[in-house]
Amino acid sequence: MGMLILFIAIILEIALAIYCIVTRKTNKPLRNWVRVAVFVAFVILVLLSVIVWSFRWVMLGALLFILAAIGVAALFRNKADPQEYKHSRVIGKTIGMIFALIVALAPALLFPQHQSPQVTGAYEVATASYTYVDTNRTEEFIGTGKNRFVNVQFWYPKHADGTYPLVVFSHGAYGVKASNTSTYTELASHGYVVCSIDHPYHSLYTVSDDGTRALANSEYMREIKNANTEGVYTTEEVYGLFQKWMKLRTDDMNFVIDTILAESQSDKDPMYRLINPDQIGVFGHSMGGSASVWLSRERDDISAVVNIDAPLFSELVYDNEIHDFVASGEAYTTPLLNIYSDSVWVQLDNNSIYAANKAIDENASDAYTVHFQGAKHLSLTDLSLFAPVIADMLQGGKADIDKYDCIETENDLILTFFDYALKGIGRFTAAGTY
């Protein structure tokens, strides 16, 4: 929609400029009538929900309103234009207007208006957000001695009776808790309580209940970049980073789950009473997937894990003789679903960081592997829908798979797997490659 509007606007501005050049007049009244007409058309499109009003359209709406207001004022004054006609002035104003339109439409171009993936469950979905403060931990990223806070958001069945499985999500390296909102909504519509975590200073941006803001820590982002750059760290140093990152992530997840379970025993918030403490699953994308698998090694109450496009750090050891990673070979007993894009799939055989991902099928009693052919790393998140330009930049190009088909199929697989592993519904089967 944003690109279409920009195209039409540019054509209109060029047409006005050509008309002025041909007639050798500034045609101020015509321009003013056009500005008013364009603003009226914009308002009508918003009222008809062709343009769904959101942050995407605020700058464009403000620009069109200002231009229309100036146009109306000029038409009422009905004064002759004192400026002498000049080609250069017409061309300059046209270029300036096109630039202003591009700036005003930037949010709509970067975050285009899009349809939400299909929600198939019977339950209406409600959300709630909280900030949990861990009094047993001091924030390591800032030297103020404050306790670490963790922001969470819930998606849960509204107007529901009974209790439902709890599934907890951890975002990617510098993602956000909303990264897979379509998945959370689909699960909640089928009778799950979904909690997604913002890991402060690992998350790109998070805001707590009291307004405290935390951006991704620059040193942490530098570690991520250098760990993916050959020759900066030794393999043993990278292994040490894995341990550090996973400790913070799993400490956050342990704290959140423990807090939720404690709240589910109280009467303070009816949402918590929807949770069945005997049915807990965890899942995550990228580093969050690594943390989810790691956490299932630490907790006996986790009954299902979904790893989305991540190396299995918990299943790796560092071999001092060959100075490389190898699979630990330990038995893995928690039901596990691994979902991969091409970005990771091509590395499973030739990158030692993924040595345990291949071995897990041999060491696990109930593991499944799915590959989305043509997908890239961020195809498995909602960023590919919400901000496709940014997703393509971050993942090094556009994915070949249909983004809606990818997300909706992924959501269905995760739902079916959790139904099997947490609710005991049927058996889980998957095509393997999609």
**Domain CATH code at residue 199:** 3.40.50.1820
Of 42, 76, 110, the last residue of a domain is 110
* Residue indicated by tokens 């998945």: 183
268 within a domain of the structure (yes/no)? yes
**Residue 82 pLDDT:** 60
What is the per-residue pLDDT for 73? 87
Averaged over successive runs of 10 residues, the pLDDT of the chain (434 residues) comes to 85 87 84 89 90 89 92 78 72 89 89 87 96 94 87 95 96 94 98 97 93 93 92 94 96 97 87 95 98 96 97 94 92 95 94 91 87 96 91 90 96 97 93 90
Domain that holds residue 58: 2-110
Identify whether residues 186 and 271 lie together within a single domain: yes
**Residue 157 has what pLDDT?**
97
Question: Where among 60, 77, 110 does a domain terminate?
Answer: 110
What pLDDT shows up at residue 79? 62
Does 97 share its domain with 155? no
Encoded tokens for 181: 């909102």
What is the predicted pLDDT for the residue at 337?
97
- On whether both 98 and 240 belong to a single domain, the answer is no
Angle 149-153-159 (CA atoms, 0-180°, nearest 5)? 140
Question: For residues 302 and 295, is the Cβ–Cβ distance under 8 A?
Answer: yes
- Say whether both 227 and 320 belong to one domain: yes
Q: pLDDT by residue (tens digit) across 147-185?
A: 999 999 999 999 888 999 999 999 999 899 999 999 999
Across 277-302, b (16+ Cβ under 10 Å) vs e yields eebbbbbbbbbbbbbbbbbbeebeeb
- Residue 82 and residue 188 in one domain: no
Residues 62 and 204 in one domain: no
Helix (H, G, I), strand (E, B) or coil at 426: coil
Report the mean per-residue pLDDT for the chain.
92
Asked if residue 119 belongs to a domain, the reply is no
Burial 404-423, CB ≥16 within 10 A → b, else e: bebbbbbbebbbbbbbbbbb
Same-domain status, 83 and 166: no
Which of 110, 133, 160 terminates a domain? The answer is 110
Report residue 345 as tokens: 């799939």
Shared domain check, 291 and 161: yes
Domain count, the chain: 2
